[in-house]
Amino acid sequence: MPRPQPRMLEVLRTEMVTPNMRRVVFGGQEITTIPEGYEGGYIKLIFPDAPHSTPDRVVMRTYSIRAFDADKGEMAVDFALHGDAGGLATDWAMTVQPGDRILIGGPGSVKMVDPAADWVMLAGDMTAIPALMCNFERLTADTKGYVVIEITSEADKQDLNLPEGIELHWVINPTPEKLEGKLVEQIKALPWLEGQVSVWTACEFDSMRALRSYYRTDRGVGRDQIYLSSYWRAGRTEDQHKVDKQVDSAKAA
C-alpha cells in the first residue's frame, strides 16, 4: 500500500493539558483526508526549514494522534515537554500560534492492547500518555491488570477512566532524561498475575530494552502478546534514535 502524501494542516488552538504536556489541535481543509480510527497511531511532523534538512531528506518528528473528530474537523496531538532530545518539535509546540501551518505525514499503523486477554499490562512514560489514553478507551468494563505511568511531577497526573479491575500506579520522575529506572523498577515490583497477558509498553530506549528482557525472558511473554516500543532515547535526536532502534532490532532478531 503506497504511503499517503503529507497533508498541510492548520493549527486551530493550543492548550496546556498539564504543566509538562501541551496539546495542539489541528484542522484546515486537508484534515478531511485523514481517515478515522487512527487514534493512537503515529504521525510525522515535517520541518523542511529545520537545520540539517535537505530537499532529499527533511527533518521529521514522530507523535501519536490523541484524538480525532471528523465531524468537527479536528485532530489533537499532545506533546510531552520532556523526551524530544533535539527539542525541535517541543519548541515548535510551545511557540506555534493559531493559523500556523505544518506538513503532517501519516497516519501510521495503530497497535493497541488486547482487551480480550486474561489481564493487561499497560505502561509508559510521558511520551506514551497520548497512546496510552487511546488504549484506555478500548478497554472493556471487566478488564483486569495494571497501568503504570511515569510522569514528571504530581501535577502531571490526569483523570483516567479505568475499569475497576485495573490497578493504577503513578511513578514520579522529575528528571526522566537521567534514566533512573523508576518505571522499570515499578513494573518489576508488581505481582505477576495468572492467565494470558497482553502487554503494551512504550518508553525511553534503554528502559524499553530492560523491559523487553523482563517481559520475554523473566516472564515468558510471547511475541504475539506484546507491543513494546521506544519513543525516544536520552541524549539522542530522533534521527539518531531511529538508527539505534534499527541496530537493536537486528541484534534482537
Q: What's the mean pLDDT in 146-171?
A: 97
In a domain, 2, yes or no: no
Q: Note the pLDDT of residue 86.
A: 44
* Residue 112 within any structural domain of the chain: no
Residue 8 carries which side chain, given as an amino acid letter? Answer: M
- Whether 225 and 131 share a structural domain: yes
From 105, 130, 159, give the residue that closes a domain.
105
Structural domain span for residue 219: 119-252
Q: What mean pLDDT is predicted for residues 149-174? A: 97
According to the model, what pLDDT value does residue 129 have?
Answer: 98
Query: pLDDT tens, 186-212?
Result: 999 999 999 999 999 999 999 999 999
pLDDT in tens, 107-139: 999 999 998 999 999 999 999 999 999 999 999
Spatial neighbors of 36 by CB under 8 A, at least 6 apart, are: 68, 70
- Same domain? For 140 and 214 the reply is yes
Residue with cell 487511546: 134
CA distance 182 to 167: 17
> What DSSP character marks residue 31?
G
Chain centroid offset of residue 61 CA:
12
What local confidence, expressed as pLDDT, does residue 83 receive? 46
Single residue among 105, 127, 159 that ends a domain in this structure: 105
Q: What is the DSSP string of 183-231?
A: HHHHHHHSPPPSS-EEEEEEEEHHHHHHHHHIIIIIS---GGGEEEEEE
Strand partners, 7: 104
pLDDT at residue 191 in the model: 98
Phi, psi angles (nearest 5°) of residue 23? -100, 135
Summary mean pLDDT of the chain: 93
Residue 165's CATH number: 3.40.50.80
Cα(59)–Cα(40) distance, integer angstroms: 22
Of residues 5, 8, 33, the one with CA closest to residue 106: 5
Mean pLDDT of all residues in 33-45: 96
Instruction: Tell me, yes or no, whether 165 and 55 share the same domain.
Output: no
Residue in the structure block whose three cell numbers are 474537523? 73
pTM: 0.94
User: What confidence category does residue 39 fall into, taking pLDDT thresholds of 50, 70 and 90?
Assistant: very high
Q: What is the mean pLDDT of residues 170-175?
A: 94
| Residue ending a domain, choose from 48, 73, 105 | 105
pLDDT tens for 44-86 read 999 988 887 887 889 999 999 999 999 999 999 999 996 444 4
**Residue 98 and residue 125 share a domain:** no
Q: Give me the number of domains the chain comprises.
A: 2
By the 8 A CB rule, do 64 and 136 touch? no
